[in-house]
Structure 1
Amino acid sequence: MIRPLGWLLVAIRLGLMLAWLGLCIVLYYIWRTLRPTNPWPSVFLGGIAWIAGVEVTRTGTQTPGHHGLRGAFLLANHVSWIDIPAIAGTTGSAFVAHDGLAAIGPLRWLCDMNDTVFVARHDRASVGHQVEQVREAIRDTGALTIFPEGTTSDGTDLLPFKSSLLSALDPIPAGIAVQPIWLDYGAEAGDIAWVGEEPGLDNFLRILARARPVALTLHFLPPLKGEALTNRKTLATAARAAIVEAMNR
């Protein structure tokens, strides 16, 4: 249950988020008339994470290039809605999302700004189109993040990685790295995680009501190499194994 002080924090943070959104939208459209690439979606998302009280730190070596990750597919575990603004603000990455989100008008509009690729999970006929969308997104942003679990976990373990979600990466374009990331919320992962029957709005408000900051470490693990890059199934297996190994250290 959210206490009165928590509701005050929610109100303050929501107000700041709306003000930040308005400013970033103006800057996004101004910038779009001047430059081919637009940094404001990732700047906006990074600001959302900061306003929500998320303190992001990084470990490991990022793939070299623009935003530190020019030409990279990032395969990450998924714990909370916080994952998205934290990764975007840190790497400039776009995302792969299920096509159900595309039906929500305002959310679709914001996702399109950040070059989100919407995947129809059960429509095999659309895979070719999705592959081209993936290629376009990687050209525009330099990095594309996929959550191969397909849903959120409790942050203490990994669900199986669904290789079907990696269909658009098979085959991998030449010169593109595939790098696993472990999103580590530490001892408070269970409190942050959006799992079970909790509605998404309740999780969102619960996080905003926290007085304590949310400590999140992004562990950039070594890019996959060799046989791990053979196909989508080997990608899923190798990426999951790398994250599990990091979690168990």
Structure 2
Amino acid sequence: MATAFAMPRQLSLRAWARVTLRLAAMAALLLVCIPFYYAWAILRMTNPWPRIFLGGVATIAGVEIKTAGVKPRGPTFMLANHVSWIDIPALSRITGSAFVGHDGLASMPVLKWLCRMNDTVFVARHDRTSVADQVEQVRHAMTDTHALTIFPEGTTSDGTGLLPFKSSLLSAFEPLPAGICVQPVLLDYGPDAAQIAWVGEEHGLDNFLRILARRRAVEVTIHFLPQLRGAQLTNRKTMAQAAREAILQALAR
């Protein structure tokens, strides 16, 4: 897939100008948000600034968002398909969600710092002894945001189908805490999905820059599908299976 699109070194001067302006705007927004974030943290107030920043990133990147279905009301785990880094700022702008990420992200200091500010829960997929810590992180994230999103594919897909869902990523949600809803979510980039998707051998930075270089808007429809109920919530495997089936049915439509 990486060879099908222009790499950053092949971008035109106009494209590089768009990238530069957007990066400068994102950096300026981050500098504005950081003092407010730490002020709210010192006062131990519910902190909106990470979500304000991510929502601003979506706007700066030229993302146009439509929604369908009923958005989360109250504490909610959202299980969503994963296409690109754009998924995160788009969902955050609409729902204020925090996110679950794999523990590999924590190995990059700057990214870890930004993720921690947004109450990211780092999941160690192969370390069952860390589940208790993950559960505590989930509770903390839900206290601040009331919404937490996980991408059960464990990686990005091409936006036209779904990879298998890894139920192990839902370990921190078993058993499901009382009063928490589970809602499948479809991120639909329409005919542009293949141009947005981060798949194949493409480097993450290349995907990031390629999207920032776009002249056309990134159009995404976020479909909030019916919440899981009854036997679908029995355990992490039933939740993963039911959510995947619901997203596949929505993709088929």
Q: Given the two structures, how large is their TM-score scaled by the length of structure 1?
A: 0.96
Counterpart contact for 2:100–2:122, Cα < 8 Å:
yes
Match of 1:115 in 2: 119
Structure 1, residues 60-90: CA drift from partner, whole Å, max 9, x if none? 01232xxxxx310000000000001111111
Specify every segment of 5 or more residues in structure 2 that has no aligned partner in the other structure, as ranges. 1-5
How far apart, in 2, do the equivalents of 1:26 and 1:132 lie? 27
* 1:29 to 2:38 alignment: yes
Identify which of 185, 188, 191 aligns with 2:192: 188
Amino-acid identity (%): 66
* 1:159 to 2:168 alignment: no
Structure 1, residues 91-115: CA drift from partner, whole Å, max 9, x if none? 1111110111111111111111111
How far apart, in 2, do the equivalents of 1:136 and 1:28 lie? 16
For these two proteins, the number of residue pairs brought into alignment is: 244
How far apart, in 2, do the equivalents of 1:20 and 1:147 lie? 26
The one-letter code matched in structure 2 to 1:157 is G
How far apart, in 2, do the equivalents of 1:124 and 1:173 lie? 19
Residue pairs, 1:171-210, within 5 angstroms: 171-210=175-214
Match of 1:39 in 2: 48
Paired residue secondary structure (1:25): helix
Please report the RMSD computed on the Cα atoms of aligned residues, expressed in angstroms. 1.0
Residue pairs, 1:64-103, within 5 angstroms: 64=73, 70-103=74-107
Q: Given the two structures, how large is their TM-score scaled by the length of structure 2?
A: 0.94
Question: How far apart are 1:132 and its partner, in Å?
Answer: 1.7
Specify every segment of 5 or more residues in structure 1 that has no aligned partner in the other structure, as ranges. 65-69
Counterpart contact for 2:54–2:89, Cα < 8 Å:
yes
The one-letter code matched in structure 1 to 2:223 is H
Paired residue secondary structure (2:201): coil
Match of 1:58 in 2: 67
Identify which of 237, 242, 246 aligns with 2:246: 242
Identify which of 217, 222, 229 aligns with 2:221: 217
Question: How far apart are 1:35 and its partner, in Å?
Answer: 5.3
* 1:10 to 2:19 alignment: yes
How far apart, in 2, do the equivalents of 1:140 and 1:28 lie? 13
Structure 1, residues 37-56: CA drift from partner, whole Å, max 9, x if none? 01010010000011011111
Paired residue secondary structure (1:145): strand
Question: How far apart are 1:155 and its partner, in Å?
Answer: 0.1
Paired residue secondary structure (1:45): helix
How far apart, in 2, do the equivalents of 1:35 and 1:105 lie? 24
Structure 1, residues 176-231: CA drift from partner, whole Å, max 9, x if none? 00000000000000000000000001111100000000001110001000100000
- CA distance 1:111–1:6, shift in 2 (3 Å): same
> Which consecutive segments of 4 or more residues in structure 1 shift more than 3 A?
none
Counterpart contact for 2:71–2:95, Cα < 8 Å:
no
Structure 1, residues 100-146: CA drift from partner, whole Å, max 9, x if none? 11111111111111111111111111112111211221122101100
How far apart, in 1, do the equivalents of 2:129 and 2:220 lie? 38
Counterpart contact for 2:72–2:95, Cα < 8 Å:
no
How far apart, in 1, do the equivalents of 2:216 and 2:154 lie? 29
